[in-house]
Amino acid sequence: MFRFGIIVCAAFLLYPFFLPDDFYGRMAAEVLLAAIGASAWNILGGYAGQISVGHAVFFGIGAYAPLLIFTKFGLPPIVGVPVGILVSTAVTVVIGLPTFRLTGHYFSMATIAVAELIRLVISNWDYVGAATGLMGPAVARTWLDLSFRSPIPYYYIFLAVLACLLLLTWHLQRSRMGYYWRAIRAGERPARSLGVPVVRYKLYALLLSAGFTSVAGSLYSLMVGFIDPESGFGILKSVELIIIAALGGAGSLFGPLVGAMILVPLQTMTNSLYGGGGSGLTYIIYGGIIVLLARYEPGGLLDLWHRMMSRRAHRADVAAAKPHAS
């Protein structure tokens, strides 16, 4: 297991050295970015079981902040990253407290409503570029602008952020916080009777989740250098985060990464096959994945994998026990 971990880490670190061209480098960076966003969603939606369909709000805030800081004040976009986190966490408290009174589908529907409302506001707000959105620096003034022609620097930045996020999640998952989140997901009423302050722990999950989703948004706009209301605050963004996490396995540490490694290349493929008109197809793929997961594998691919491995181990046990028995 330990050796497997070392090999995977080495593969991620060395991957860019074996690239034929930038196309694969960009795709790999996008995989990591998607994994960051989905891992961030996973804290609230996976571990704590509160299915938010409005996380685009935090992604959008994170994406707008660097480019807004750049356009309005001429500062390096990266200064906007902490601003995005601050605004996201502030929004979290404003929307979290009322929506957490709702459970299950009602919570999910409320998050959609809030996100769509905010998207409409942004689309009509001239200060933030209204429907056209915002641009980053055309050419890097200093390296601080983090504007690179090659995707490789982005790849390593994203890898570092993802590693931090997963390390933090791993630590929380095995501490009281993680146990309380899973108890809340399994049943709020018994959790409360065992002394779990449910609203407070949901809020912790939302704060962390929103903060890191905002970072994912910032990294996106740093790399792409452009943001508009649809790509920042659109519902497709929220749905994408959910599907990636659920595909790999919501509530597991590496589920979102696995999901991203499958879904992002799939998206890139359909986009290059059908040109820019691939977005309709994206909806169809998302819908198909939702139906398949809900019907056959609600635990996601990692869960399926674990079950297959334990079945194999079980068969091996049985096989090993047989000669003794006879």
Residues that bind other proteins (CB under 8 A): 174-176, 179-180, 182-183, 185-187, 189-198
Asked whether the beta carbons of 39 and 162 are under 8 A apart, the reply is yes
Q: How far is the CB of 192 from other proteins (least distance, A)?
A: 4
Q: Between 78 and 199, name the residue whose CB sits nearer to other proteins.
A: 199
Q: Between 74 and 195, name the residue whose CB sits nearer to other proteins.
A: 195
Quote the CA–CA distance of 127 and 111 in Å, as a whole number: 25
Q: Is 257 exposed, middle or buried (0-12, 13-18, 19+ CB in 10 A)?
A: buried
Q: How far is the CB of 193 from other proteins (least distance, A)?
A: 5
Q: Which helix (H) or strand (E) holds 311?
A: helix 300-325
Cα angle 55, 253, 165; round to 5: 65
Q: Between 154 and 180, name the residue whose CB sits nearer to other proteins.
A: 180
Q: How far is the CB of 103 from other proteins (least distance, A)?
A: 15
Buried b (16+ CB within 10 A) or exposed e, 174-207: eeebbbbbbbbbeebeebeeeebebeebbbbbbb
Q: Between 192 and 286, name the residue whose CB sits nearer to other proteins.
A: 192
Quote the CA–CA distance of 214 and 128 in Å, as a whole number: 17
Q: Between 195 and 275, name the residue whose CB sits nearer to other proteins.
A: 195
Q: Between 195 and 280, name the residue whose CB sits nearer to other proteins.
A: 195
Distances in whole angstroms, Cα of residue 298 to Cα of each of 127, 151, 249: 43, 34, 8
Q: How far is the CB of 294 from other proteins (least distance, A)?
A: 17
Q: How far is the CB of 191 from other proteins (least distance, A)?
A: 7
Please spell the DSSP secondary structure of 176-223, one letter per residue: HHHHHHHHHHH-HHHHHHTT--HHHHHHHHHHHHHHHHHHHHHHHHHH
Q: Between 49 and 54, name the residue whose CB sits nearer to other proteins.
A: 49
Q: Which helix (H) or strand (E) holds 134?
A: strand 134-135
Among the listed residues 218, 231, 263, 226, the one whose alpha carbon sits nearest the alpha carbon of residue 244: 263
Q: How far is the CB of 236 from other proteins (least distance, A)?
A: 30
Q: How far is the CB of 3 from other proteins (least distance, A)?
A: 24
